[in-house]
Structure 1
Amino acid sequence: MGGRLRPAALCGAALAVAGGAALAAWAWARLRGRAAPPAAAEQGAGRGRPVLVLGLDGAGKTSVLRSLAAERVGRGLAPTEGFHAVCVGTGETRMEFLEIGGSECLRSYWKMYLPKVLLLIYVVDSADHARLPVAKQLLHQLVQNNPTLPVVVLANKQDLKGAYCITDIHDALALSDIGDERKMFLIGTHVAEDGSEISSSMKDAKELIAQLVLETQ
Protein backbone atom coordinates (compact mmCIF):
# COMPACT_ATOMS: atom_id res chain seq x y z
CA MET A 1 0.00 0.00 0.00
CA GLY A 2 1.16 3.54 -0.66
CA GLY A 3 1.68 6.13 2.03
CA ARG A 4 -1.33 7.66 3.69
CA LEU A 5 -2.78 10.68 1.98
CA ARG A 6 -1.43 13.94 3.36
CA PRO A 7 -3.48 16.93 2.23
CA ALA A 8 -1.69 20.28 2.21
CA ALA A 9 -3.62 23.39 3.19
CA LEU A 10 -3.81 25.90 0.35
CA CYS A 11 -6.59 28.10 -0.97
CA GLY A 12 -9.69 25.98 -0.37
CA ALA A 13 -9.65 24.22 -3.76
CA ALA A 14 -10.94 21.07 -2.12
CA LEU A 15 -12.66 19.88 1.01
CA ALA A 16 -11.67 16.74 2.88
CA VAL A 17 -14.61 15.44 4.90
CA ALA A 18 -14.07 13.00 7.76
CA GLY A 19 -15.56 12.13 11.12
CA GLY A 20 -19.11 13.14 10.22
CA ALA A 21 -19.33 16.86 10.89
CA ALA A 22 -15.60 17.56 10.68
CA LEU A 23 -14.87 19.88 7.76
CA ALA A 24 -11.54 21.29 6.62
CA ALA A 25 -10.33 23.13 3.53
CA TRP A 26 -7.58 21.33 1.68
CA ALA A 27 -5.80 21.43 -1.65
CA TRP A 28 -3.74 18.69 -3.16
CA ALA A 29 -0.30 20.01 -3.98
CA ARG A 30 2.38 17.46 -4.89
CA LEU A 31 1.38 13.79 -4.72
CA ARG A 32 3.29 12.81 -7.85
CA GLY A 33 6.56 12.60 -5.93
CA ARG A 34 5.45 9.48 -4.03
CA ALA A 35 6.54 6.23 -5.56
CA ALA A 36 4.07 3.43 -6.13
CA PRO A 37 4.75 0.07 -4.50
CA PRO A 38 6.77 -2.09 -6.94
CA ALA A 39 4.06 -4.75 -7.25
CA ALA A 40 1.41 -2.15 -8.04
CA ALA A 41 3.62 -0.47 -10.61
CA GLU A 42 4.32 -3.75 -12.37
CA GLN A 43 0.77 -5.05 -12.39
CA GLY A 44 -1.04 -1.80 -13.08
CA ALA A 45 -2.77 -0.48 -9.99
CA GLY A 46 -6.50 -0.94 -9.94
CA ARG A 47 -6.54 -3.28 -12.94
CA GLY A 48 -9.69 -5.38 -12.86
CA ARG A 49 -11.45 -3.06 -10.40
CA PRO A 50 -12.45 0.22 -12.02
CA VAL A 51 -13.21 3.61 -10.59
CA LEU A 52 -16.95 4.19 -10.94
CA VAL A 53 -18.08 7.60 -12.21
CA LEU A 54 -21.71 8.56 -11.53
CA GLY A 55 -23.87 11.66 -11.41
CA LEU A 56 -26.97 13.15 -12.98
CA ASP A 57 -27.16 13.60 -16.72
CA GLY A 58 -25.56 16.89 -17.73
CA ALA A 59 -23.24 17.05 -14.71
CA GLY A 60 -20.18 16.82 -16.97
CA LYS A 61 -18.99 13.27 -16.25
CA THR A 62 -17.75 12.56 -19.78
CA SER A 63 -15.98 15.92 -20.07
CA VAL A 64 -14.27 15.28 -16.74
CA LEU A 65 -13.11 11.83 -17.86
CA ARG A 66 -11.80 13.07 -21.18
CA SER A 67 -10.00 15.87 -19.42
CA LEU A 68 -8.36 13.37 -17.07
CA ALA A 69 -7.37 11.14 -19.97
CA ALA A 70 -6.36 13.53 -22.74
CA GLU A 71 -5.87 16.81 -20.84
CA ARG A 72 -7.70 18.73 -23.60
CA VAL A 73 -11.46 18.73 -24.07
CA GLY A 74 -14.30 21.23 -24.37
CA ARG A 75 -17.77 21.09 -22.89
CA GLY A 76 -20.95 20.53 -24.88
CA LEU A 77 -20.67 16.74 -25.22
CA ALA A 78 -23.87 14.76 -25.62
CA PRO A 79 -25.00 12.91 -22.46
CA THR A 80 -23.79 9.33 -22.13
CA GLU A 81 -26.56 6.95 -23.17
CA GLY A 82 -25.12 3.87 -21.56
CA PHE A 83 -21.63 2.98 -20.38
CA HIS A 84 -18.34 4.72 -21.12
CA ALA A 85 -14.95 3.20 -20.23
CA VAL A 86 -11.70 5.18 -20.12
CA CYS A 87 -8.17 4.16 -19.17
CA VAL A 88 -5.90 6.84 -17.72
CA GLY A 89 -2.19 6.33 -17.14
CA THR A 90 0.02 8.28 -14.75
CA GLY A 91 3.66 7.92 -13.82
CA GLU A 92 2.68 5.66 -10.93
CA THR A 93 -0.39 3.72 -11.98
CA ARG A 94 -2.92 2.82 -14.61
CA MET A 95 -6.52 3.67 -13.74
CA GLU A 96 -9.63 2.26 -15.36
CA PHE A 97 -12.78 4.37 -15.16
CA LEU A 98 -16.33 3.22 -15.82
CA GLU A 99 -18.97 5.92 -16.35
CA ILE A 100 -22.66 5.06 -16.31
CA GLY A 101 -25.09 7.56 -17.79
CA GLY A 102 -27.12 9.66 -15.38
CA SER A 103 -30.53 9.67 -17.05
CA GLU A 104 -33.36 8.25 -14.99
CA CYS A 105 -33.59 5.05 -17.01
CA LEU A 106 -29.92 4.20 -16.31
CA ARG A 107 -29.77 4.93 -12.58
CA SER A 108 -31.10 1.47 -11.71
CA TYR A 109 -27.73 0.07 -12.86
CA TRP A 110 -25.68 2.23 -10.52
CA LYS A 111 -25.89 0.07 -7.39
CA MET A 112 -25.11 -3.10 -9.32
CA TYR A 113 -21.53 -1.95 -9.89
CA LEU A 114 -20.65 -0.57 -6.46
CA PRO A 115 -19.35 -3.88 -5.00
CA LYS A 116 -16.96 -4.22 -7.95
CA VAL A 117 -15.14 -0.89 -7.82
CA LEU A 118 -12.21 0.69 -6.00
CA LEU A 119 -13.86 4.01 -5.36
CA LEU A 120 -16.74 6.21 -6.42
CA ILE A 121 -16.46 9.54 -8.19
CA TYR A 122 -19.73 11.45 -7.98
CA VAL A 123 -20.04 14.47 -10.27
CA VAL A 124 -22.52 17.27 -9.64
CA ASP A 125 -23.30 20.39 -11.67
CA SER A 126 -22.57 23.24 -9.26
CA ALA A 127 -24.83 25.61 -11.21
CA ASP A 128 -27.83 23.27 -11.43
CA HIS A 129 -29.37 24.32 -8.12
CA ALA A 130 -32.79 22.83 -8.84
CA ARG A 131 -31.49 19.27 -9.14
CA LEU A 132 -29.08 19.25 -6.21
CA PRO A 133 -31.73 17.68 -3.93
CA VAL A 134 -32.04 14.80 -6.41
CA ALA A 135 -28.25 14.47 -6.60
CA LYS A 136 -28.13 14.39 -2.80
CA GLN A 137 -30.83 11.71 -2.51
CA LEU A 138 -29.17 9.44 -5.07
CA LEU A 139 -25.73 9.80 -3.50
CA HIS A 140 -27.01 8.92 -0.05
CA GLN A 141 -28.85 5.90 -1.44
CA LEU A 142 -25.67 4.73 -3.17
CA VAL A 143 -23.41 4.80 -0.14
CA GLN A 144 -25.77 3.74 2.63
CA ASN A 145 -24.82 0.06 2.29
CA ASN A 146 -21.15 0.72 1.53
CA PRO A 147 -19.73 2.27 4.72
CA THR A 148 -16.07 2.08 3.71
CA LEU A 149 -16.21 2.84 -0.03
CA PRO A 150 -14.02 5.91 -0.73
CA VAL A 151 -15.96 8.74 -2.38
CA VAL A 152 -14.69 11.73 -4.34
CA VAL A 153 -17.39 14.32 -5.07
CA LEU A 154 -16.54 16.69 -7.92
CA ALA A 155 -18.42 19.98 -7.66
CA ASN A 156 -18.12 20.54 -11.39
CA LYS A 157 -18.68 23.63 -13.56
CA GLN A 158 -17.29 25.99 -10.95
CA ASP A 159 -16.57 28.51 -13.71
CA LEU A 160 -20.25 29.04 -14.53
CA LYS A 161 -22.13 32.08 -13.32
CA GLY A 162 -24.22 31.23 -10.27
CA ALA A 163 -22.30 28.07 -9.45
CA TYR A 164 -22.41 27.15 -5.78
CA CYS A 165 -19.03 27.19 -4.02
CA ILE A 166 -17.80 23.94 -2.54
CA THR A 167 -18.96 24.81 0.98
CA ASP A 168 -22.50 25.32 -0.35
CA ILE A 169 -22.26 22.04 -2.30
CA HIS A 170 -21.09 20.30 0.87
CA ASP A 171 -24.17 21.53 2.71
CA ALA A 172 -26.58 20.91 -0.19
CA LEU A 173 -25.44 17.28 -0.43
CA ALA A 174 -25.35 16.84 3.37
CA LEU A 175 -21.93 15.21 3.13
CA SER A 176 -21.44 15.33 6.88
CA ASP A 177 -24.17 12.68 7.16
CA ILE A 178 -22.37 10.15 4.95
CA GLY A 179 -20.61 7.93 7.46
CA ASP A 180 -17.57 8.31 9.67
CA GLU A 181 -15.47 5.41 8.39
CA ARG A 182 -14.95 6.21 4.73
CA LYS A 183 -12.44 8.44 2.98
CA MET A 184 -14.48 11.22 1.40
CA PHE A 185 -13.35 14.30 -0.52
CA LEU A 186 -15.05 17.23 -2.19
CA ILE A 187 -13.23 19.13 -4.93
CA GLY A 188 -14.38 22.07 -7.05
CA THR A 189 -13.60 21.45 -10.74
CA HIS A 190 -14.23 22.81 -14.20
CA VAL A 191 -13.33 21.88 -17.76
CA ALA A 192 -12.06 24.69 -19.98
CA GLU A 193 -14.80 25.77 -22.41
CA ASP A 194 -12.48 25.81 -25.42
CA GLY A 195 -10.54 22.73 -24.38
CA SER A 196 -7.28 24.68 -24.61
CA GLU A 197 -5.78 23.27 -21.42
CA ILE A 198 -6.56 21.16 -18.41
CA SER A 199 -7.55 23.27 -15.41
CA SER A 200 -5.48 23.21 -12.23
CA SER A 201 -8.50 21.83 -10.39
CA MET A 202 -8.63 18.84 -12.76
CA LYS A 203 -4.92 18.25 -12.24
CA ASP A 204 -5.53 18.21 -8.47
CA ALA A 205 -8.44 15.80 -8.93
CA LYS A 206 -6.34 13.47 -11.08
CA GLU A 207 -3.54 13.34 -8.50
CA LEU A 208 -5.95 12.71 -5.64
CA ILE A 209 -7.76 9.91 -7.52
CA ALA A 210 -4.45 8.27 -8.48
CA GLN A 211 -3.29 8.28 -4.86
CA LEU A 212 -6.60 6.85 -3.64
CA VAL A 213 -6.39 4.07 -6.24
CA LEU A 214 -2.92 3.16 -4.98
CA GLU A 215 -4.10 3.08 -1.37
CA THR A 216 -7.42 1.31 -1.96
CA GLN A 217 -6.41 -1.59 -4.20
Structure 2
Amino acid sequence: MRERSYYRGRKKGKKKDQIGKGTQGATTASASELDASKTATSPPTSPRPGSAVAPSSAATSNDKPPSRQILVLGLDGAGKTSVLHSLATNHVKHSAAPTEGFNAVCINTEETQLYFLEIGGSESLRSYWKMYLPKVLGLIYVVDSADHTRLPLAKHLLHQLVQHDSTLPVVVLANKQDIEGAYCITDIHDALALSDIGDERKMFLIGTHVAQDGSEISSSMKDAKELIAQLVLETA
Protein backbone atom coordinates (compact mmCIF):
# COMPACT_ATOMS: atom_id res chain seq x y z
CA MET A 1 0.00 0.00 0.00
CA ARG A 2 1.43 3.38 -0.97
CA GLU A 3 2.11 5.60 2.02
CA ARG A 4 1.14 9.22 1.84
CA SER A 5 1.69 12.12 4.17
CA TYR A 6 -0.65 14.81 5.35
CA TYR A 7 -0.02 18.14 7.03
CA ARG A 8 -2.06 20.82 8.68
CA GLY A 9 -0.89 23.57 10.97
CA ARG A 10 -0.17 27.22 11.39
CA LYS A 11 2.53 27.51 8.78
CA LYS A 12 1.00 28.42 5.46
CA GLY A 13 2.74 27.84 2.19
CA LYS A 14 3.96 24.30 2.92
CA LYS A 15 2.94 21.83 0.28
CA LYS A 16 1.70 18.39 1.16
CA ASP A 17 4.49 16.73 -0.81
CA GLN A 18 7.04 18.47 1.41
CA ILE A 19 5.76 16.89 4.55
CA GLY A 20 7.39 13.65 5.58
CA LYS A 21 10.44 14.70 3.61
CA GLY A 22 11.22 17.58 5.93
CA THR A 23 12.18 21.08 4.92
CA GLN A 24 15.45 22.07 3.33
CA GLY A 25 18.35 21.29 5.64
CA ALA A 26 16.49 18.67 7.61
CA THR A 27 18.82 15.89 6.54
CA THR A 28 21.69 17.31 8.58
CA ALA A 29 19.51 17.15 11.68
CA SER A 30 18.40 13.56 11.28
CA ALA A 31 19.16 11.16 14.12
CA SER A 32 22.42 9.35 13.49
CA GLU A 33 23.27 7.19 16.46
CA LEU A 34 21.76 5.65 19.55
CA ASP A 35 23.42 7.29 22.55
CA ALA A 36 21.55 5.72 25.45
CA SER A 37 18.49 3.58 26.02
CA LYS A 38 16.86 2.31 29.17
CA THR A 39 13.58 0.83 30.25
CA ALA A 40 11.91 1.13 33.63
CA THR A 41 8.74 -0.41 35.00
CA SER A 42 7.88 2.60 37.16
CA PRO A 43 7.79 6.32 36.33
CA PRO A 44 11.12 8.12 36.64
CA THR A 45 11.26 10.03 39.91
CA SER A 46 14.63 11.74 40.39
CA PRO A 47 16.54 11.40 37.14
CA ARG A 48 19.99 12.81 36.58
CA PRO A 49 20.09 16.42 35.37
CA GLY A 50 20.07 16.39 31.60
CA SER A 51 18.82 12.82 31.41
CA ALA A 52 16.24 11.73 28.88
CA VAL A 53 13.37 11.97 31.33
CA ALA A 54 14.07 15.21 33.17
CA PRO A 55 14.11 18.80 31.92
CA SER A 56 17.37 20.65 32.48
CA SER A 57 17.57 22.90 35.53
CA ALA A 58 18.27 25.82 33.23
CA ALA A 59 14.75 26.74 32.12
CA THR A 60 14.20 28.90 29.08
CA SER A 61 12.14 32.05 29.12
CA ASN A 62 9.11 30.31 27.65
CA ASP A 63 9.42 27.31 30.00
CA LYS A 64 10.24 24.96 27.14
CA PRO A 65 12.82 22.38 28.23
CA PRO A 66 16.22 22.96 26.62
CA SER A 67 16.76 19.20 26.65
CA ARG A 68 14.35 18.99 23.71
CA GLN A 69 12.32 16.09 24.95
CA ILE A 70 9.78 14.35 22.75
CA LEU A 71 7.03 12.16 24.16
CA VAL A 72 6.20 8.93 22.32
CA LEU A 73 2.72 7.57 23.05
CA GLY A 74 0.13 5.23 21.59
CA LEU A 75 -1.84 2.13 22.44
CA ASP A 76 -0.05 -1.08 23.33
CA GLY A 77 0.80 -3.03 20.20
CA ALA A 78 0.97 0.04 17.95
CA GLY A 79 4.70 -0.48 17.37
CA LYS A 80 6.15 2.39 19.42
CA THR A 81 9.26 0.55 20.59
CA SER A 82 10.10 -0.77 17.11
CA VAL A 83 9.56 2.68 15.60
CA LEU A 84 11.77 4.32 18.22
CA HIS A 85 14.51 1.73 17.70
CA SER A 86 14.36 2.34 13.94
CA LEU A 87 14.59 6.11 14.39
CA ALA A 88 17.55 5.75 16.73
CA THR A 89 19.65 3.15 14.92
CA ASN A 90 18.54 3.32 11.26
CA HIS A 91 17.95 -0.42 11.44
CA VAL A 92 14.88 -2.55 12.04
CA LYS A 93 14.19 -4.66 15.11
CA HIS A 94 10.78 -6.34 14.99
CA SER A 95 11.53 -8.41 18.07
CA ALA A 96 11.60 -5.46 20.47
CA ALA A 97 9.74 -6.41 23.63
CA PRO A 98 6.63 -4.36 24.45
CA THR A 99 7.34 -1.50 26.83
CA GLU A 100 5.89 -2.36 30.22
CA GLY A 101 6.91 0.94 31.75
CA PHE A 102 9.08 3.75 30.47
CA ASN A 103 11.70 3.69 27.73
CA ALA A 104 14.10 6.64 27.41
CA VAL A 105 16.37 7.13 24.41
CA CYS A 106 18.85 9.89 23.61
CA ILE A 107 19.73 10.41 19.95
CA ASN A 108 22.62 12.63 18.85
CA THR A 109 22.28 14.75 15.73
CA GLU A 110 24.75 17.15 14.17
CA GLU A 111 22.97 20.10 15.74
CA THR A 112 21.38 18.88 18.95
CA GLN A 113 20.42 15.96 21.16
CA LEU A 114 16.90 14.58 20.97
CA TYR A 115 15.46 12.94 24.06
CA PHE A 116 12.61 10.52 23.45
CA LEU A 117 10.48 9.26 26.33
CA GLU A 118 8.21 6.36 25.44
CA ILE A 119 5.50 5.40 27.91
CA GLY A 120 3.79 2.04 27.53
CA GLY A 121 0.29 2.02 26.09
CA SER A 122 -1.40 -0.44 28.43
CA GLU A 123 -4.39 0.80 30.39
CA SER A 124 -2.44 0.88 33.67
CA LEU A 125 0.13 3.30 32.23
CA ARG A 126 -2.09 5.74 30.36
CA SER A 127 -2.70 7.79 33.49
CA TYR A 128 0.95 8.86 33.32
CA TRP A 129 0.71 10.20 29.78
CA LYS A 130 -0.60 13.66 30.55
CA MET A 131 1.86 14.13 33.42
CA TYR A 132 4.75 14.49 30.97
CA LEU A 133 3.12 16.79 28.41
CA PRO A 134 4.31 20.04 30.09
CA LYS A 135 7.92 18.80 29.88
CA VAL A 136 8.14 18.14 26.15
CA LEU A 137 8.50 20.05 22.92
CA GLY A 138 6.37 17.70 20.88
CA LEU A 139 4.30 14.54 20.83
CA ILE A 140 4.72 11.50 18.59
CA TYR A 141 1.52 9.45 18.60
CA VAL A 142 1.75 6.00 17.03
CA VAL A 143 -1.34 4.14 15.83
CA ASP A 144 -1.77 0.66 14.35
CA SER A 145 -3.32 1.28 10.93
CA ALA A 146 -4.54 -2.32 10.75
CA ASP A 147 -6.21 -2.42 14.18
CA HIS A 148 -9.54 -0.97 13.10
CA THR A 149 -11.42 -1.91 16.25
CA ARG A 150 -9.18 0.15 18.52
CA LEU A 151 -8.90 3.26 16.39
CA PRO A 152 -11.85 4.88 18.22
CA LEU A 153 -9.98 4.40 21.51
CA ALA A 154 -6.78 5.77 19.97
CA LYS A 155 -8.75 8.79 18.78
CA HIS A 156 -10.33 9.36 22.20
CA LEU A 157 -6.99 9.24 24.01
CA LEU A 158 -5.29 11.53 21.49
CA HIS A 159 -8.00 14.15 21.78
CA GLN A 160 -7.78 13.96 25.56
CA LEU A 161 -4.05 14.59 25.39
CA VAL A 162 -4.02 17.55 23.04
CA GLN A 163 -6.66 19.47 24.98
CA HIS A 164 -4.03 20.04 27.68
CA ASP A 165 -1.90 22.14 25.28
CA SER A 166 -3.46 23.90 22.32
CA THR A 167 -0.13 24.58 20.59
CA LEU A 168 1.85 21.38 21.23
CA PRO A 169 3.18 20.04 17.89
CA VAL A 170 1.90 16.54 17.13
CA VAL A 171 3.32 13.94 14.74
CA VAL A 172 0.92 11.04 14.18
CA LEU A 173 2.58 7.93 12.75
CA ALA A 174 0.08 5.68 10.99
CA ASN A 175 2.17 2.57 11.51
CA LYS A 176 1.97 -0.91 9.94
CA GLN A 177 0.98 0.42 6.52
CA ASP A 178 2.46 -2.73 5.00
CA ILE A 179 -0.14 -5.02 6.60
CA GLU A 180 -3.02 -6.17 4.40
CA GLY A 181 -6.21 -4.35 5.31
CA ALA A 182 -4.43 -1.40 6.93
CA TYR A 183 -6.26 1.90 6.62
CA CYS A 184 -4.65 4.38 4.25
CA ILE A 185 -3.57 7.81 5.44
CA THR A 186 -6.83 9.48 4.45
CA ASP A 187 -8.85 6.92 6.40
CA ILE A 188 -6.59 7.29 9.44
CA HIS A 189 -7.01 11.06 9.29
CA ASP A 190 -10.77 10.68 9.31
CA ALA A 191 -10.82 7.92 11.94
CA LEU A 192 -8.78 10.07 14.34
CA ALA A 193 -10.77 13.22 13.49
CA LEU A 194 -7.57 15.21 13.16
CA SER A 195 -9.45 18.15 11.68
CA ASP A 196 -11.00 18.70 15.11
CA ILE A 197 -7.74 19.01 17.00
CA GLY A 198 -7.37 22.72 16.33
CA ASP A 199 -5.66 25.23 14.05
CA GLU A 200 -3.12 26.59 16.54
CA ARG A 201 -0.73 23.65 16.39
CA LYS A 202 1.57 22.05 13.85
CA MET A 203 0.05 18.72 12.88
CA PHE A 204 1.67 15.97 10.84
CA LEU A 205 0.36 12.57 9.77
CA ILE A 206 2.84 10.16 8.19
CA GLY A 207 2.35 6.60 7.01
CA THR A 208 5.10 4.29 8.29
CA HIS A 209 6.04 0.65 8.53
CA VAL A 210 8.89 -1.27 10.12
CA ALA A 211 10.58 -3.43 7.49
CA GLN A 212 12.29 -6.80 7.88
CA ASP A 213 14.58 -7.40 10.88
CA GLY A 214 18.15 -6.25 10.33
CA SER A 215 17.40 -4.24 7.22
CA GLU A 216 17.71 -0.51 6.87
CA ILE A 217 14.68 1.52 7.80
CA SER A 218 12.08 2.31 5.15
CA SER A 219 12.06 5.61 3.29
CA SER A 220 8.91 6.62 5.16
CA MET A 221 10.70 6.11 8.50
CA LYS A 222 13.62 8.22 7.26
CA ASP A 223 11.12 10.90 6.29
CA ALA A 224 9.60 10.79 9.77
CA LYS A 225 13.01 11.01 11.45
CA GLU A 226 14.08 14.02 9.42
CA LEU A 227 10.79 15.78 9.99
CA ILE A 228 10.90 15.22 13.77
CA ALA A 229 14.45 16.57 13.99
CA GLN A 230 13.56 19.63 11.95
CA LEU A 231 10.39 20.21 13.95
CA VAL A 232 12.32 20.16 17.23
CA LEU A 233 14.88 22.64 15.90
CA GLU A 234 12.10 24.99 14.80
CA THR A 235 10.18 24.66 18.07
CA ALA A 236 13.02 24.84 20.61
The TM-score, its normalising length taken from structure 2, stands at 0.77
What CA deviation, in whole Å up to 9, does each residue of 1:108-144 have, x standing for no partner? 0000000110000000000011100000000000001
Is the CA contact 2:70–2:140 (under 8 Å) kept in the aligned structure 1?
yes
Counterpart-to-counterpart distance in 2, 1:142 and 1:161: 30
Gaps of 5+ in 2: 30-64
Q: Which residue of 2 aligns with 1:141?
A: 160
Gaps of 5+ in 1: 1-10, 37-45
Q: Which residue of 1 aligns with 2:212?
A: 193
Counterpart-to-counterpart distance in 1, 2:188 and 2:94: 21
Q: Which residue of 2 aligns with 1:33?
A: 25
Counterpart-to-counterpart distance in 1, 2:211 and 2:124: 29
In structure 2, the CA distance between the partners of 1:30 and 1:130, relative to structure 1 (3 Å rule), is closer
Counterpart-to-counterpart distance in 2, 1:77 and 1:55: 16
Is the CA contact 1:32–1:207 (under 8 Å) kept in the aligned structure 2?
no
Q: Which residue of 2 aligns with 1:173?
A: 192
Q: Bigger CA drift: 88-97 or 176-185?
A: 88-97
RMSD: 2.1
1:119 and 2:138 correspond: yes
Q: Bigger CA drift: 82-91 or 105-114?
A: 82-91
Q: Which residue of 2 aligns with 1:13?
A: 4
1:156 and 2:148 correspond: no
Q: Bigger CA drift: 134-143 or 72-81?
A: 72-81
The alignment covers a number of residue pairs equal to 195
The code of the aligned residue for 1:14 comes to S
Deviation at 1:73, TM superposition (A): 2.0
Is the CA contact 2:207–2:220 (under 8 Å) kept in the aligned structure 1?
yes
Deviation at 1:47, TM superposition (A): 4.6
In structure 2, the CA distance between the partners of 1:106 and 1:182, relative to structure 1 (3 Å rule), is same
Q: Which residue of 1 aligns with 2:121?
A: 102
Aligned residues: percent identity?
73
Deviation at 1:145, TM superposition (A): 2.2
Describe the SS at the equivalent of 2:71. Answer: strand
Describe the SS at the equivalent of 1:52. Answer: strand
Describe the SS at the equivalent of 2:125. Answer: helix
In structure 2, the CA distance between the partners of 1:31 and 1:17, relative to structure 1 (3 Å rule), is closer
The TM-score, its normalising length taken from structure 1, stands at 0.83
Counterpart-to-counterpart distance in 2, 1:207 and 1:14: 14
Deviation at 1:74, TM superposition (A): 2.5
Q: How does 1:81-96 map to 2 (within 5 A)?
A: 81-96=100-115
1:204 and 2:223 correspond: yes
Q: How does 1:60-79 map to 2 (within 5 A)?
A: 60-79=79-98
Describe the SS at the equivalent of 2:172. Answer: strand
The code of the aligned residue for 1:174 comes to A
